[in-house]
């Protein structure tokens, strides 16, 4: 088992839900990302998604798009993020998952990306624009179970597509709670619970919900039926608001604790 599987097994034994936090690597710079990742690990986060910035992020709303642009302006690359991940791995055993689009990892080289990620202590990747039917090559390089390729399910996914995702997704299934781009929402769809139940009937893998969960109250609701809650834009907004502050990590930590209390109730 990899670190992700081990963490979900531990949470299941404890009857707890997973708190997954997304941050954009290099926003506002890699030194700050390093500090923030360690702060997340100390304050109740179970798994960290490290977003690899891309110039054309189709699934991302304005908050994460802006974070990507800030990182790209600093010259952030996959190589520099991998170096940071290696340093982080010496300090913490929290699972790390990359989230990025297919183009950057294709340009880097699929096999090299998987091999270098594993060597750097990264446990998997989420590729929003890569459907499972077209992921054979990437999955082929990830067959030793030490590196998970996680697929997204959406409200519009057919039963046949959901079965394919349930079969091929590694470690967990990322359920997108809404159609459209990422970003905090004032209200969540009333159908999320039904969709999660449907997926859980097809697989024993954990089902985690992301996109649009913007406050602890919503996180608590989602954690009542999903195996994990993914928080992204709400955290990126805190980072954006505090750029330039020396205690940016601790300020984010306070917000993270409020989400952790809601999810771990």
Q: What is the pLDDT of residues 40-68, one digit of tens each?
A: 999 999 999 999 998 876 767 788 999 99
Task: Please give the tally of structural domains in the chain.
Answer: 1
Conformational region of residue 250, where left means phi above 0, alpha means psi within -120 to 50, and beta covers everything else: alpha
Annotated active-site residue 60? The verdict is yes
Residue 170 included in any domain: yes
Q: What is the mean pLDDT of residues 15-32?
A: 98
**The tokens of 245 are what?**
């502050």
Task: Please tell me the distance from the alpha carbon of residue 71 to that of residue 13, in angstroms, as a whole number.
Answer: 38
pLDDT at residue 215, as a whole number: 95
Residue 263 included in any domain: no
> 93, exposed or middle or buried, with CB in 10 Å at 0-12, 13-18, 19+?
exposed
Residue 48 included in any domain: yes
229's enclosing H/E stretch is: strand 228-231
pLDDT at residue 230, as a whole number: 98
Catalytic residue among 27, 46, 60, 249: 60
CATH number at residue 57: 3.20.20.70
Catalytic residue among 49, 123, 227, 249: 49
pLDDT at residue 187, as a whole number: 61
The alpha carbon dihedral of 115, 121, 124, 127 has a sign of: negative
Mean pLDDT estimate for the chain: 94
Q: What is the mean pLDDT of residues 11-37?
A: 98
Residue 236 included in any domain: yes
* pLDDT tens column, 151-161: 999 999 999 99
* pLDDT tens column, 192-251: 999 999 999 999 999 999 988 999 999 999 999 999 999 999 999 999 999 999 999 999
Residue 203 included in any domain: yes
Residue 264 included in any domain: no
Rounding to the nearest 10 degrees, give the CA dihedral for residues 211, 216, 217, 223: 70
* pLDDT tens column, 99-113: 999 999 999 999 999
Using pLDDT thresholds of 50, 70 and 90, give the confidence band for residue 183: very low
Q: Tokens 């039904």 correspond to what residue?
A: 194
- Tell me which residue range forms the domain holding 33: 3-257
Alpha-helical (H) ranges within the chain are: 3-14, 30-42, 62-73, 78-89, 102-108, 110-119, 136-140, 159-168, 192-202, 216-223, 233-241, 248-263
Task: Please tell me the distance from the alpha carbon of residue 2 to that of residue 7, in angstroms, as a whole number.
Answer: 9
Annotated active-site residue 49? The verdict is yes
**The tokens of 104 are what?**
């950057």
Q: What percent of the chain has pLDDT over 90?
A: 87
């Amino acid at each position: 088992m990899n670190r992700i599987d081990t963490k979900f097994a531990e949470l299941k034994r404890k009857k707890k839900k997973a708190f997954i936090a997304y941050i954009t690597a290099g926003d506002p710079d890699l030194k700050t990302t390093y500090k923030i990742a360690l702060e997340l690990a100390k304050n109740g986060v179970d798994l960290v998604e490290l977003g690899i910035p891309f110039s054309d992020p189709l699934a991302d709303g304005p908050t994460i798009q802006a974070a990507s642009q800030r990182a790209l302006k600093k010259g952030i690359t996959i190589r520099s993020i991998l170096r940071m991940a290696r340093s982080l791995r010496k300090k913490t055993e929290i699972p790390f998952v990359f989230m990025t689009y297919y183009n950057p990892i294709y340009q880097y080289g699929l096999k090299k990306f998987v091999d270098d990620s594993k060597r750097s202590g990264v446990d998997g990747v989420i590729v929003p624009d890569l459907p499972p039917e077209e992921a054979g090559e990437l999955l082929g390089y990830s067959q030793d179970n030490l590196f998970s390729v996680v697929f997204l399910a959406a409200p519009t996914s057919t039963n046949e597509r959901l079965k394919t995702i349930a079969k091929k997704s590694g470690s967990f299934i990322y359920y997108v709670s809404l159609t459209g781009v990422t970003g905090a929402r004032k209200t969540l769809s009333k159908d999320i619970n039904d969709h999660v139940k449907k997926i859980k009937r097809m697989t024993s893998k954990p089902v985690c919900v992301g996109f649009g969960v913007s406050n602890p109250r919503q996180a608590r609701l989602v954690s009542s039926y999903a195996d994990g809650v993914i928080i992204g834009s709400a955290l990126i907004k805190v980072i954006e608001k505090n750029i330039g502050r020396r205690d940016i990590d601790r300020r984010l930590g306070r917000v993270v604790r409020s989400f952790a209390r809601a999810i771990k109730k």
